[in-house]
Structure 1
Amino acid sequence: MRNTVDVAVVGGGPVGWMVACELALAGVSVSVHERRTERVKQSRAMTLHPRSLEILALRGLADRFLARGLPLPTAHYGVLDTRLDFSALDTAFPFTLFIPQAVTEALLEERARELGVDIHRGHQVTGLRQDPEGVDVEGTREGGTFRVRARYVVGADGARSIARTLAGIPFQGTETTMSLMLGDVVFGTLPDQPAWTTVNEHGTLMVAPLGDGRHHRVVMNDPLRSGVPVSEPVTLEELARSLRSIEGSDFGMHSPLWLSRFGNETKLAATYRSGRVFLAGDAAHIHLPAGGQGLNVGLQDAMNLGWKLAGVLRGLAPEALLDSYHRERHPVGASLLRNTLSQTALISTFNPAGLALRETVSALLTLPDANRKLAEQIAALDVAYAEPPLPAPPGLDTVSGLPGGRLPDLILRGTEGASHSLYSLYSLMHEGRWLLLRREDSAPRPALTAAWAEWTNVVTADIPAREKDWGAWTSLWVRPDGHLGYVAHGGTP
């Protein structure tokens, strides 16, 4: 088998599907190559955070996920007693969405199929060879081999990424120093509440219902078992024994659906780009899954990369735009590792000093500003990009403190003609294009260059509620990923 595509995506998990959807939406030919023949049934990740729901809403997909998940107004930081309050965040989605990773993956694959993505299961990539014009991807499949010629390759193939290895990108950080246990089980009896956490001198415990009406997820850090290699299987008796040690009872645990062990290996790719090969998701960053952030950051990597690749491949942006992917997302990955390392310290020290530290930090989180800061960090609403990815279009510029930050789903008031209807910002961005938002009285209005015109929707509207924040703006240019690109004030457009 041999074919030619614009982009070959290695890995058919949620991140791979997300980047494939972004590319296909823009009319770019894309193929996904997944080594597994069937979709994974188990779900490591169980949560979508506000920013992930925002980027799904930017493409008109959020309702599909909201219909399958359970909104929760709080989240934990290091399993502290004081929870993070997401209900106070400036977003249309002030909650975490409890939804199994398997459902997230299925919904994104469904969207990829709707967009005509070329999907290949049972494809094990074994070789990548770059030249100035593209990349030859080679591998094995049932009954033979395959070869794909692509202009670019995206490695979204997880922590043991073959794409990263073949591209020669160093993966730097720390190895596993402790292991935790996970089990999806049925309880014979339950405490008063269906979900709870316990931290004491015997370890850390988190329990939550899986949403199927029968199974609960149990996650434990038992210091007596934290030295067991990740490769050693977990048994139901081992899980029950640790639960009795921490909680005093195993609540009649039985019928395990899935038992697993995972570690705190923490690594970051030295670069997210090597020539024509890019990394996204766990291929670029791995860590203890504290706060459920890995999948979410991966989806956000995918959107950032997708629209940039599409713009370059369609001839609407210079190839230099692709350099901004590493420049913008690598610092986000580094911040993610710091965040999860700090939580690791909170959930893995069971001596009096460690328990005292937990009490202190938990008390600090009762302060609204401290709570909001960490909630925004977990939710990824604090991400802002310091430098614009492209030179400013004619008549627009960057203004300190504004461009680069994500925009919530602002309510706009149409002002053109006789229409004064209200609609949302995100509803204008389902096509994955730039959005030029102009006030009715803004002048002059220079013509867009051909490339910008082909890549930009122009809307005349106002944002009454944001007047105090942005002053006398006349035009806002919003990136396809919902971050503010450029602003014009006063006499500019």
Structure 2
Amino acid sequence: MPAMENQLYDVIIVGRGPVGLFLACELLLQDVSVLVVERRLAMGLGDLPETRACIVHARTQEILAARGLLPTFNKVSSKTNWWHYGILETRLQFGALDDETLENHVMFTPQSQTEEILLRRALELGVVVQLGAKVKSLDQSADEVTLRGSLIKDTNGDSIEEDFTVRGKYVVGCDGWRSSVRELAKFNWEQRDATHVMWSAEATPGVDMGPFNITKNDAGILIMCKMDVPSGRSRIACWTPSRNDLDATEPFTLEEFNQALTEITGRDNRLGNPKGLARFTNMSGYVTEYRKGRVFLGGDAAHRHLPAGGQGMNLGIQEVNNLAWKLGAVIRGEAPDTLLDTYGSERLSIAQGVVTNTTAQSLLFFAHTRPETAIRESLNKILEVPEANRKLALEISGLSHAYPAPLEMIRPEGWDALPKELSGKRAPDVKVRTTDGDEKYLHDFLKGGKWVQFVFSDRHSTGNVGVPAFVGRTEVVSVAEILGNWGGMYKGPHSQILIRPDGHFGFGKL
């Protein structure tokens, strides 16, 4: 790594999973230099299961659409308009959110495909990726962060280890729940110990288990998703009361796993072709801040929880979607350092909310005694109420997430904070007819990672119409009409509205 050691990168990302790769893509749209360092020795998943982190929720799909990536994901994914909450028999109806989003469904994409798509995009944009790099120390100064560690190279079948040093103006740890960056930078961590142990694996059933199999009975629970992957494997997780006190680190065999499924389903599912047999728990935790000087965390490095509803990867992608444009603005000298503090103030409470709702689902997952099953029965009835079902669907999908305060430190001159009912809310992905007669969606204007400035041609403006709010970083759109049924949030007295690069409402001009 000699050449890299002589360079000061704008941002160093530790971790090359979906969150780290998406962050790299986002930062490169901000015209900053990026180095990604990764412990794995190869670009692929290696021995890791290809279907892990396979659920992509609606808000993440909107973010992918806003960067032009969703059509590629659609080609390798399957979808359903429902999903579960705590394995309750009354499902969450994501299809009922068609008045809220184009992406009113849950998408299933194998992590192997997610990483391949994002890596291809990052390489096209010019990212530098260093494999086989294990970070061992981290030192901050007033102007930069220095990472040191060991670099493993494979030379003619022999592994050679050598020291490396790299420098960046900022470092972002996207290196999972065992994060070395979190430990080295001494982030505070609040943890709740595990109470239950689940089993998971990729395997090929020898009988038809359907595309989705979600079962909860006295014998235990089963969650199975079948995806179109080269291996033909399905993603399977289970829990049985009789196996709950086993050590989560203890290995187990495919035969033991199949026996557990037999107890739950009442038949031999004849599993074969296994990979990634592992146990996991409902241990939960999160950092109490997302920033330590010039070091930030994203994804599982900042939080851990039961993977109930498949929210973890989505949470991480949504986090770095928030962080990247802010880092870009500060690095380019266009925003004060205080903008970076808003990453934590906007995202920490959302992460805590995900930990809370997965903890609540944990009780529903493992309900076994009569009082616990009574809670399940009551919640099943509550979710039959459309308003309650919708509220949880919006939360799990990420569509209801909003930011509490306007970013006053970067408010452009002549612009105002939007009213409470708009400020910081997610901007609906409306179809727009421009004054040139074109019809496009909001996501089409967000593809460059810039602010989007809607100028409404039918409203009086007291300022200069169409002058970019942020010179060089604003896509100005002359709007003739908002089409469809989602335009309510765009109606009102403002002649212009600014939408942040992450797709949330920013500022307005009367």
Given the two structures, how large is their TM-score scaled by the length of structure 2? 0.92
Question: Could you say which residue in structure 2 is the equivalent of 1:15?
Answer: 19
Q: How do residues 153-302 of structure 1 correspond to structure 2 at under 5 angstroms? A: 153-190=171-208, 193-212=210-229, 214-302=232-320
Matched, 1:373 2:383: no
Between the two proteins, what is the percent identity of the paired residues?
A: 38
Distance in structure 2 (CA, Å) of the matches to 1:35 and 1:449: 46
Deviation, structure 1 residue 194: 4.1
Deviation, structure 1 residue 467: 5.6
Q: How many residues align?
A: 485
Q: Which runs of 5+ in 1 are unaligned?
A: none
Deviation, structure 1 residue 450: 8.7
Distance in structure 2 (CA, Å) of the matches to 1:147 and 1:364: 56
| Corresponding letter in the other structure for 2:217 | N
Matched, 1:412 2:432: yes
Q: Residues 141 and 421 from structure 1, CA distance in 2 versus in 1: closer, same or farther, beyond 3 angstroms?
A: same
| Corresponding letter in the other structure for 2:118 | L
Q: Is the 8 A contact 1:201 1:351 kept in 2?
A: no
| Corresponding letter in the other structure for 2:417 | D
Question: Could you say which residue in structure 1 is the equivalent of 2:492?
Answer: 471
Question: Could you say which residue in structure 2 is the equivalent of 1:64?
Answer: 72
For residues 134-188 of structure 1, give each alpha carbon's deviation from its aligned partner in whole angstroms, at most 9, with x where no partner exists: 1111111024111111100000000010000010102112122221001222222
Q: Residues 468 and 200 from structure 1, CA distance in 2 versus in 1: closer, same or farther, beyond 3 angstroms?
A: closer
Q: Which runs of 5+ in 2 are unaligned?
A: 153-160
Distance in structure 1 (CA, Å) of the matches to 2:483 and 2:17: 41
Matched, 1:148 2:166: yes
Q: Residues 448 and 327 from structure 1, CA distance in 2 versus in 1: closer, same or farther, beyond 3 angstroms?
A: farther
The DSSP-based 3-state class of the residue aligned with 1:278 is strand
Q: How do residues 319-334 of structure 1 correspond to structure 2 at under 5 angstroms? A: 319-334=337-352
Deviation, structure 1 residue 224: 1.1
Q: Could you say what the CA RMSD is over the residues aligned between the two structures, in angstroms?
A: 1.7
For residues 264-318 of structure 1, give each alpha carbon's deviation from its aligned partner in whole angstroms, at most 9, with x where no partner exists: 1100011100000000000001101000000000000111111110111111111
Task: Identify which range, 420-429 or 46-55, moves more after superposition.
Answer: 420-429
| Corresponding letter in the other structure for 1:232 | E
The DSSP-based 3-state class of the residue aligned with 1:233 is coil
Which of the numbers 448, 451, 460 marks the counterpart of 1:434? 451
Question: Could you say which residue in structure 2 is the equivalent of 1:87?
Answer: 95
Question: Could you say which residue in structure 2 is the equivalent of 1:443?
Answer: 461
Distance in structure 1 (CA, Å) of the matches to 2:135 and 2:240: 38
Q: Residues 439 and 235 from structure 1, CA distance in 2 versus in 1: closer, same or farther, beyond 3 angstroms?
A: same
For residues 380-427 of structure 1, give each alpha carbon's deviation from its aligned partner in whole angstroms, at most 9, with x where no partner exists: 001000101244322322212111111121111112xxx223211110
Q: Is the 8 A contact 1:181 1:220 kept in 2?
A: yes
Distance in structure 2 (CA, Å) of the matches to 1:93 and 1:158: 27
Distance in structure 1 (CA, Å) of the matches to 2:302 and 2:92: 27
Question: Could you say which residue in structure 1 is the equivalent of 2:123?
Answer: 113
Q: Residues 467 and 294 from structure 1, CA distance in 2 versus in 1: closer, same or farther, beyond 3 angstroms?
A: closer
Q: Is the 8 A contact 1:205 1:221 kept in 2?
A: yes
The DSSP-based 3-state class of the residue aligned with 1:454 is coil
| Corresponding letter in the other structure for 2:36 | V
Matched, 1:125 2:172: no
Matched, 1:424 2:441: yes
Task: Extract structure 1 runs of 4+ deviating beyond 6 A.
Answer: 447-451
Distance in structure 2 (CA, Å) of the matches to 1:27 and 1:220: 45
The DSSP-based 3-state class of the residue aligned with 1:44 is coil
| Corresponding letter in the other structure for 2:240 | D
Q: How do residues 5-84 of structure 1 correspond to structure 2 at under 5 angstroms? A: 5-38=9-42, 39-40=44-45, 41-42=48-49, 43-84=51-92
Distance in structure 2 (CA, Å) of the matches to 1:290 and 1:226: 17
| Corresponding letter in the other structure for 1:14 | P
| Corresponding letter in the other structure for 1:483 | H
Deviation, structure 1 residue 202: 1.6
Q: Residues 467 and 174 from structure 1, CA distance in 2 versus in 1: closer, same or farther, beyond 3 angstroms?
A: closer
Distance in structure 2 (CA, Å) of the matches to 1:272 and 1:347: 30
Deviation, structure 1 residue 464: 4.7
